[in-house]
């Protein structure tokens, strides 16, 4: 079954009529099963623009289109005009014969560029998809992005609750997510296990606000009858050329029965937040370190927020406490280590803020992603380039570690990640780095995007954890299998004596 997806027409202010008409010509020609528009039909959400859209431009499309609004459509109380001129801001389309369900949601907040799914929309995702058999093709449509997109600057315009949205998408085994908003086309394959989700961002059909060299485009997504294989193509309207963005299976590689040889074991800790205050627990820290020391591993990675407020006494304490860990260790700073004197003290007590560790099995670069006195982080284009130049060892596991998360975490507001998360994610994934370790938000998580595994650590010893099971660290085991590498991530909730496998990924060479 085939989908035609188009987005961000911006009828009115920045509207390019020529490319809209060109795009509509193709939409009318392509024989597809579903035609979907992913928001920003108008530029300012005004009556004038809605009238133009309804009376002049939408009638040019001779196909039935499923539409949801974008942030521009809800400007100037345009959400009420959408209902008046276009119809409901949500839709659910069920095709029982073909076993396809498409849920369209409104991710906008009135008069704001940022989006929010909100608990009701998240609940709706579970209600529509959680108990639906995986034989069905499950499609979710909303305007804003959840994963950071290349060339789009700071990721402040993703949905604020993107972590919860991603969790719902993964929990419900949704096959296809369609978004607009960033005016650039992009495809990522996201998985936390057996089923891949294709996260598809559609470019703009007719908004003059384009990004870099991105051209006006429409996107087609085609699944085979068994829903095991997908092909995604983007039509660049100016050149009339088709570009294939994805052509592959959507079922993830099977976890092997025989793991093969254990290549590397890494213990990942973060957010020790060492201080004399009540939020740091010496007892919990000591208990965690005892367990860490009893595990055979190659390396411990500390993903930052070593101290609570970058005080001298905290760095002093931290050096003594972390000295109790008997394994080799690599450390990167977090924003709590980057208050005004933090960088100087960090270097005095822990050495350079950027570091490297190599053995015969892996190469790992520790990156300083912090900005002085800021919560948000940045890596920067030049550092990214040098990471890729430094991490290209064919036989070794190529790893980078920094503090700020790239993939939004559940139960947290998506606001303190990297300013340049879109560019960094694209470089990491296209550069085929094997493993990315981060440590933000005192919350654990792991995902696979394309061929890269991302793991975020919780907190080892701060009492402000975002997990009902308490303080934790991650054990990452990498096995060499017949076909590639198998990554097993186990989270140890050492204070209550429990552990749980939070991710298993088998990535073929
Ligand atoms: Fe837009
Ligand atoms: Fe938008």
What pLDDT does 157 receive?
66
Going by DSSP bridges, is the β-strand pair 186-191/197-201 parallel, antiparallel, or unpaired? antiparallel
Given pLDDT bands bounded at 50, 70 and 90, which one contains residue 110? confident
Q: Assign domain 262-508 to its CATH architecture.
A: 4-Layer Sandwich (3.60)
What pLDDT does 244 receive?
97
- The residue that leads in pLDDT, 291 or 466, is 291
13-72: per-residue pLDDT in tens?
899 999 999 999 999 999 999 999 999 999 999 999 999 999 999 999 999 999 999 999
Residues, the chain? 509
CA distance 190 to 453: 10
Q: Does residue 155 have a pLDDT over 60?
A: no
Picking from 63, 135, 142, 125, the residue whose alpha carbon sits closest to that of residue 100 is 135
Q: What is the mean predicted confidence (pLDDT) over 386-394? A: 83
Closest-lying ligand to the alpha carbon of 142?
2
Distance 415 CA to ligand 2 centre (A): 18
CA distance 129 to 94: 11
Closest-lying ligand to the alpha carbon of 144?
2
Question: Do residues 221 and 137 touch, judged by C-beta distance below 8 A?
Answer: no
210-225: per-residue pLDDT in tens?
877 778 999 999 999 8
State the helix-helix crossing angle for 342-350 and 312-322, rounded to 10 degrees. Answer: 30
What's the chain's average pLDDT?
Answer: 93
Q: What is the mean predicted confidence (pLDDT) over 293-301? A: 97
Distance 454 CA to ligand 2 centre (A): 28
Closest-lying ligand to the alpha carbon of 8?
1
What pLDDT does 154 receive?
59
CA distance 291 to 289: 5
Cβ neighbour number for residue 63 with a 10 Å cutoff: 14
Distance 497 CA to ligand 2 centre (A): 46
Q: 3-state class of 65 per DSSP?
A: strand
Distance 113 CA to ligand 1 centre (A): 10
Distance 57 CA to ligand 1 centre (A): 17
Closest-lying ligand to the alpha carbon of 184?
1
What pLDDT does 197 receive?
95
Picking from 75, 420, 427, 19, the residue whose alpha carbon sits closest to that of residue 209 is 19
Rounded percentage of the chain residues whose pLDDT exceeds 70 = 98
Q: What is the mean predicted confidence (pLDDT) over 489-499? A: 96
Q: What is the mean predicted confidence (pLDDT) over 106-122? A: 91
Answer positive or negative: Cα dihedral of 39, 40, 46, 50: negative
Q: Where in the chain is the domain with CATH 3.60.21.10?
A: 2-249, 262-508
Question: Do residues 366 and 383 touch, judged by C-beta distance below 8 A?
Answer: no
Q: Maximum CA pair distance of the chain?
A: 72
Q: What is the mean predicted confidence (pLDDT) over 464-480? A: 92
What pLDDT does 156 receive?
59
What pLDDT does 414 receive?
81
Picking from 428, 432, 430, the residue whose alpha carbon sits closest to that of residue 484 is 432
User: Class of the 2-249 domain?
Assistant: alpha beta
DSSP readout, 230-292? Answer: EEEEEEETTTTEEEEEEEEESBPPPPPSS--EEEEEEEEE----B-SSTTB-HHHHHHHHHHH
Cβ neighbour number for residue 50 with a 10 Å cutoff: 22
Picking from 22, 5, 91, 12, the residue whose alpha carbon sits closest to that of residue 56 is 12
Picking from 215, 313, 203, 284, the residue whose alpha carbon sits closest to that of residue 459 is 284
């Amino acid at each position: 079954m085939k989908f035609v997806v188009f987005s961000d027409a911006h009828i009115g202010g920045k509207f390019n009529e020529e490319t809209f008409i060109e795009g509509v010509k193709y939409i009318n020609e392509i024989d597809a099963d579903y035609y979907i528009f992913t928001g920003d039909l108008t530029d300012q959400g005004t009556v004038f623009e809605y009238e133009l859209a309804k009376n002049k431009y939408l009638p040019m499309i001779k196909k039935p289109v499923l539409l949801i609004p974008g942030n521009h459509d809800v400007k100037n109380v345009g959400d009420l005009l959408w209902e008046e001129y276009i119809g409901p801001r949500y839709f659910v389309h069920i095709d029982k014969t073909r076993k396809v369900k498409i849920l369209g949601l409104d991710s906008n907040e009135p008069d704001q560029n940022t989006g929010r799914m909100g608990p009701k929309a998240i609940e709706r995702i579970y209600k529509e998809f959680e108990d639906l058999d995986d034989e069905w093709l499950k499609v979710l449509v909303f305007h804003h992005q959840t994963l950071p997109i290349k060339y789009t600057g700071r990721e402040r315009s993703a949905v604020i609750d993107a972590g919860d949205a991603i969790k719902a998408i993964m929990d419900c085994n949704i096959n296809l997510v369609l978004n607009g908003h960033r005016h650039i086309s992009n495809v990522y394959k996201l998985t936390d296990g057996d089923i891949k989700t294709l996260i598809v961002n559609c470019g703009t059909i007719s908004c003059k606000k384009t990004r870099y060299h991105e051209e006006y485009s429409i996107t087609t997504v085609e699944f085979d009858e068994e829903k095991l294989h997908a092909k995604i193509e983007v039509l660049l309207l100016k050149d009339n050329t088709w570009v294939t963005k994805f052509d592959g299976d959507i079922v993830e590689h099977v976890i092997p029965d025989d793991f093969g040889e254990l290549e590397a074991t890494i213990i990942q800790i973060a957010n020790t937040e060492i201080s004399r205050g009540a939020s740091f627990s010496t007892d919990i820290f000591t208990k965690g370190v005892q367990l860490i020391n009893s595990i055979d591993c190659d390396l411990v990675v500390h993903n930052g927020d070593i101290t609570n407020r970058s005080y001298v006494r905290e760095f002093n304490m931290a050096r003594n406490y972390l000295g109790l860990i008997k394994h080799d260790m690599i450390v990167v700073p977090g924003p709590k280590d980057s208050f005004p004197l933090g960088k100087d003290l960090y270097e005095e007590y822990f050495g350079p803020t950027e570091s490297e560790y190599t053995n015969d099995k892996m190469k790992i670069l520790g990156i300083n992603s912090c900005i002085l006195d800021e919560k948000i982080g940045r890596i920067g284009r030049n550092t990214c380039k040098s990471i890729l130049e430094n991490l290209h060892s064919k036989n070794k596991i190529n790893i980078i570690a920094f503090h700020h998360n790239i993939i939004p975490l559940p139960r947290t507001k998506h606001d303190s990640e990297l300013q340049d998360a879109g560019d960094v994610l694209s470089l990491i994934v296209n550069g085929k780095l094997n493993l990315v370790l981060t440590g933000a938000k005192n919350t654990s998580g792991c995902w696979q995007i394309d061929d890269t595994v991302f793991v975020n650590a919780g907190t080892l010893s701060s009492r402000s954890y975002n997990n009902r099971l308490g303080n934790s660290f991650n054990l990452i085991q990498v096995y060499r299998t017949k076909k590639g590498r198998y990554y097993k991530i186990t989270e140890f909730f050492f204070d209550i004596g429990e552990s749980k496998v939070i991710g298993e990924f088998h990535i073929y060479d």
